């Protein structure tokens, strides 16, 4: 049994290669910090400005976002809601389903759970690796999402990138082994500022994927405080019981 397991584990990487078939761009690590309210607020603003027009987060309400992120409700009403929606409503848009599928080849998916489905690192890398490809409808392609149907909506901020495809001979076949990206035109942000902006966005999407995580952090702290106090009582009680025994 043990041997069988070892053999299976040894086989796994080759199975993965056989199934995946080829190159996958290495993911960069997003710095997720749900305690960082300022980052979450910046991320929410970016999301509403640059993404909500196409992508809904239909399980998330404006009010919940504002409350969780510590944004006063009247500020949220004036600065976060551009449509005629109310603060208690879900964060949706009015993009027609059929129209969007025809414009982009694919309907922009709801992003409520995207951080859980794709992983924060994947989204972070995805938003950083759009590159110029004049064969495509929107003149861009993406290193982690080949032939993506989404335009580079953050291009004003990031600028444009060029890609150099690196090929090598693997098992006698010409195979893509790397994609090298270099800045072509600058955007309005420096590369460091752009990384920060994208990280804020991903941080926000991670929060949206599980808003109750913020609650569990808070509750977790109280549970620890309770246990600490409880321990003192138990300790005193124990001493009380044993006093007569000694
Ligand atoms: C102009 C419309 C449009 C805007 C604006 C837009 N997207 Fe997209 N997005 C799309 C479309 C269309 C797809 C589907 C692409 C495909 O499947 O080829 C997509 C796909 C994605 C995906 C991949 C989802 C998946 O799991 O397949 C992510 C993540 C994403 N968008 C994030 C964002 C973020 C973050 C923003 C804001 C910075 C944004 N998008 C703004 C149209 C848009």
User: Given its phi and psi angles, is residue 31 left (phi above 0), alpha (psi -120 to 50 degrees) or beta?
Assistant: beta
The pTM assigned to this predicted structure is 0.83
Q: Are 130 and 141 in contact (CB under 8 A)?
A: yes
Alpha carbons 174 and 193: distance in angstroms, whole number: 37
Report pLDDT digits (tens) over 64-87: 999 999 999 999 998 889 888 999
* pLDDT tens digits, one per residue of 108-134: 999 999 999 999 999 999 999 999 999
pLDDT at residue 219 in the model: 79
Distance CA 211, CA 115 (A): 12
Task: Take atom 12 of ligand 1 and give the residue whose Cα is closest.
Answer: 108
User: What per-residue confidence (pLDDT) applies to 223?
Assistant: 86
Longest CA–CA span in the chain (Å) reads 88
| High-pLDDT (> 70) share of the chain, % | 91
pLDDT computed for residue 97 by the predictor: 81
Is 114 close to ligand 1, i.e. is its CB under 6 Å away?
Answer: yes
Q: Say if ligand 1 is within 6 A of residue 150 CB.
A: yes
Angle (CA) 128 130 133, round 5°: 160
The predicted pLDDT at position 22 comes to 76
Picking from 74-78, 116-120, 203-207, 213-217, which range would have the lowest pLDDT averaged per residue?
213-217
* DSSP code of residue 143: S
Pocket-testing residue among 54, 60, 91, 99, ligand 1, by greatest number of atoms within 8 A of Cβ: 54
pLDDT at 135 over 60: yes
The helix (run of H) or strand (run of E) holding residue 173 is strand 173-186
Can you give the pLDDT at residue 20? Answer: 46
Distance in Å, CA 215 to ligand 1 centroid: 28
Phi, psi of 79 (to 5 degrees): -110, -15
CA 153 to centroid of ligand 1, rounded, Å: 9
- pLDDT (average), residues 148-157: 96
pLDDT per residue over 37-59, tens digit each?
Answer: 999 999 999 999 999 999 999 99
Cα–ligand 1 centroid distance for 245 (angstroms): 71
Contacts within 8 Å (CB) and 24+ apart, 41-44: 41/69, 41/70, 41/71, 42/197, 42/200, 42/204, 43/200, 43/201, 43/202, 43/203, 43/204, 43/205, 43/207, 44/69, 44/71, 44/80, 44/204
pLDDT in tens, 175-202: 999 999 999 999 999 999 999 999 999 9
Torsion angle defined by CA atoms of residues 33, 143, 156 and 202, in that order, rounded to the nearest 10 degrees: -20
Q: Is 53 in the pocket of ligand 1 (CB under 6 A)?
A: yes
């Amino acid at each position: 049994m043990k041997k069988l397991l070892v053999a299976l584990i040894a086989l796994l990487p080759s199975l993965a290669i056989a199934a995946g078939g080829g190159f996958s761009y290495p993911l960069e690590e997003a710095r997720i910090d749900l305690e960082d309210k300022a980052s979450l607020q910046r991320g929410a603003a970016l999301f509403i400005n640059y993404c909500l027009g196409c992508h809904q987060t239909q399980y998330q309400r404006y009010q919940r976002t504002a409350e969780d992120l510590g944004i006063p409700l009247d500020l949220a009403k004036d600065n976060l809601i551009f449509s005629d929606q109310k603060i208690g409503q879900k964060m949706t848009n009015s993009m027609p389903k059929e129209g969007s599928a025809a414009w982009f080849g694919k309907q922009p998916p709801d992003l409520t759970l995207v951080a859980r489905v794709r992983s924060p690192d994947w989204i972070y890398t995805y938003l950083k690796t759009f590159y110029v490809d004049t064969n495509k409808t929107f003149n861009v392609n993406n290193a982690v999402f080949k032939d993506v149907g989404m335009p580079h909506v953050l291009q004003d901020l990031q600028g444009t990138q060029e890609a150099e495809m690196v090929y090598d001979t693997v098992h006698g076949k010409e195979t893509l082994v790397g994609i090298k990206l270099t800045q072509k035109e600058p955007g309005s942000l420096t590369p460091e500022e752009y990384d920060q902006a994208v990280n804020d966005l991903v941080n926000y999407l991670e929060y949206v994927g599980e808003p109750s995580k913020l609650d569990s952090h808070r509750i977790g702290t109280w549970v620890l405080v309770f246990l600490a106090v409880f321990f003192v009582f138990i300790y005193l009680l124990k001493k009380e019981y044993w006093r007569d025994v000694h």
